[in-house]
Amino acid sequence: MPGSTRSNAGSVRTLLLSLGLAAGLTALLTTAITLRASLAGQPQTAPLPVTTTLFQQQDSYDQALRLTGLLQARDRARLAFEVAGLLLSLSVREGEHVAAGAELAQLDTRQLHAQRAVAAADLASVEADLELARLRSERSTRLQATGAISAQDADAARLGEAALASRRQALLARLDSIDLDLEKSTLRAPYDGVVAARDVDPGTVLAVGTPVLQLVSAGTLQARIGIPAGHVAALVPGQRYPLHLRSGSVAAVLSAVRADLDPRTRTALAVFDLPAGAAALDGEIATLVLPETVAAGGGWLPISALLEGERGIWTVLRLGQRDDGATVAQREAVEVLHVDGNRAYVRGSLQPGQRVIADGIHRIAAGTPVQPLES
């Protein structure tokens, strides 16, 4: 009997354990079924709305070639005296406008005036002697005809007159030279202009050619711009070209293009005449804009469609189809050839006619379902 009791107790425990396991398994299955039903009832993620642009293939693109140069006055000179002397006065200031022929500076001319007075006195004395010699020569000619004097005496009188005439010419030349030095002792403006700089002050003893002041012409300004050799042939002297200045754009006339290249910049110098009254200053920068066509296959895309990747590689997202028919973003690599404002000319693995996501690509990963908006 005791053995039978223990056997019954073991059977009861086994039964209870089996029932517990069955109840746990049933609860687990119920939870799984409930969770699956819950998940099956949730809606799928909606595709992201995106704006797109059509990639159109081209064989070339146009760009604006921008060349810079400097504005300069047509005439510019460092004025100096042609004679040495003491600078007595300098009557103009920097920035002052002067007219052609206006007096700018004056040397001390007292010594020249004294030399002229001596030369004038010598001339008066020689002219008196010459008049006497002329009378003597005429008298000698008459006396020689009558035999009253010898031919030698007549020749001496005639040659004496010639010598005095030559001395008179020398003194006249001396006076002309002194008068020229007196004229050169006054520095005058060679053209209408503006005093750009004063190099010396009154009281300075000047050697010949010492710069006194710098004068720039007040007329038309010129733009001097270096042109690459490949674009020189396209320029036509006498034609107007757009120049961009600090004050705005003006149409300047091409005056000339030099036929040689600068060995440093490998460009030819082109000179443009600005229109009268242009709001510009000597030394300002001027920019010439020339159209240029570059032969290269590619197409235009907005800058907002580009995303910079690793190692400087640019990428775009185009529209593609998944196996289930859904529209998704697919990544393509491109090379940027030229940038113009808010658009870029690119080439790469894009095919003509493909639609590219135009903006917001930083929030879209490759493979993301998208919905193109109406455009």
CATH number at residue 93: 2.40.50.100
Q: Looking at the structure, do residues 277 and 310 belong to the same domain, yes or no?
A: no
Question: Is the pLDDT confidence value at 236 over 60?
Answer: yes
Choose between 114 and 13: higher pLDDT: 114
Mean pLDDT computed over 125-151: 74
Q: Looking at the structure, do residues 91 and 195 belong to the same domain, yes or no?
A: yes
Residue 147 belongs to a domain: yes
Closest CA to 280 of 237, 241, 239, 249: 249
On average, the pLDDT of the chain sits at 84
pLDDT of residue 7: 47
pLDDT of residue 34: 44
Q: Looking at the structure, do residues 314 and 339 belong to the same domain, yes or no?
A: yes
- Give yes or no for a contact between 320 and 364, defined as CB atoms under 8 angstroms apart: no
Confidence grade of residue 35 (pLDDT, cut at 50, 70, 90)? very low
Choose between 10 and 73: higher pLDDT: 73
Mean pLDDT computed over 127-154: 72
Question: Is the pLDDT confidence value at 19 over 60?
Answer: no
- Give yes or no for a contact between 316 and 350, defined as CB atoms under 8 angstroms apart: yes
Q: Write down the pTM of the prediction.
A: 0.57
Q: Looking at the structure, do residues 229 and 334 belong to the same domain, yes or no?
A: no
Q: Looking at the structure, do residues 210 and 237 belong to the same domain, yes or no?
A: no
Residue 38 belongs to a domain: no
* Number of folded domains that form the chain: 4
End position of a domain, from candidates 290, 319, 336: 290
End position of a domain, from candidates 242, 271, 290: 290
Q: What would the pLDDT profile of 277-293 be if each residue is shown by its tens digit? A: 788 888 899 999 888 88
Closest CA to 280 of 230, 223, 236: 223
- Give yes or no for a contact between 195 and 77, defined as CB atoms under 8 angstroms apart: no
- Give yes or no for a contact between 318 and 350, defined as CB atoms under 8 angstroms apart: yes
CA 279/CA 305 separation, integer angstroms: 41
pLDDT of residue 11: 55
Indicate which CATH number applies to the domain containing 284: 2.40.30.170
Residue 321 belongs to a domain: yes
Q: Looking at the structure, do residues 86 and 210 belong to the same domain, yes or no?
A: yes
Strand partners, 317: 331
What is the residue whose two structure tokens read 């455009």? 375
Choose between 9 and 206: higher pLDDT: 206
**DSSP classification of residue 101:** T
**DSSP classification of residue 209:** T
Choose between 277 and 43: higher pLDDT: 277
- Give yes or no for a contact between 49 and 371, defined as CB atoms under 8 angstroms apart: yes
Residue 358 to residues 82, 312, 313, 322, Cα–Cα distance (Å): 73, 20, 18, 20
Q: What percent of the chain has pLDDT over 70?
A: 84
Q: Looking at the structure, do residues 203 and 301 belong to the same domain, yes or no?
A: no
Confidence grade of residue 150 (pLDDT, cut at 50, 70, 90)? low
Mean pLDDT computed over 337-357: 92
pLDDT of residue 40: 44
CA 133/CA 52 separation, integer angstroms: 112
Choose between 32 and 51: higher pLDDT: 51
CA 288/CA 247 separation, integer angstroms: 14
Q: Looking at the structure, do residues 317 and 354 belong to the same domain, yes or no?
A: yes
Question: Is the pLDDT confidence value at 309 over 70?
Answer: yes
Residue 322 belongs to a domain: yes
Residue 178 belongs to a domain: yes
Host domain of residue 166: 109-183
Q: What would the pLDDT profile of 80-95 be if each residue is shown by its tens digit? A: 999 999 999 999 999 8
Residue 226 belongs to a domain: yes
Spell out the alpha helix ranges (H) of the chain: 2-41, 110-146, 151-184, 229-232
Residue 1 belongs to a domain: no
DSSP, collapsed to helix, strand or coil, labels residue 94 as: coil
> Radius of gyration (Cα) for the chain, nearest Å?
51
Q: Looking at the structure, do residues 241 and 278 belong to the same domain, yes or no?
A: yes
Q: Looking at the structure, do residues 211 and 342 belong to the same domain, yes or no?
A: no
Confidence grade of residue 33 (pLDDT, cut at 50, 70, 90)? very low
Residue 6 belongs to a domain: no
- What are φ and ψ of residue 210, in 5° steps? -65, 125
- Give yes or no for a contact between 126 and 163, defined as CB atoms under 8 angstroms apart: no
Q: Report the 10 Å Cβ neighbour count for 326.
A: 13
Closest CA to 174 of 116, 95, 105, 245: 116
- Sheet of 76-80: strand order equals 76-80, 211-217, 193-198, 97-98
Q: Looking at the structure, do residues 195 and 148 belong to the same domain, yes or no?
A: no
Q: Looking at the structure, do residues 326 and 354 belong to the same domain, yes or no?
A: yes
End position of a domain, from candidates 198, 218, 238: 218
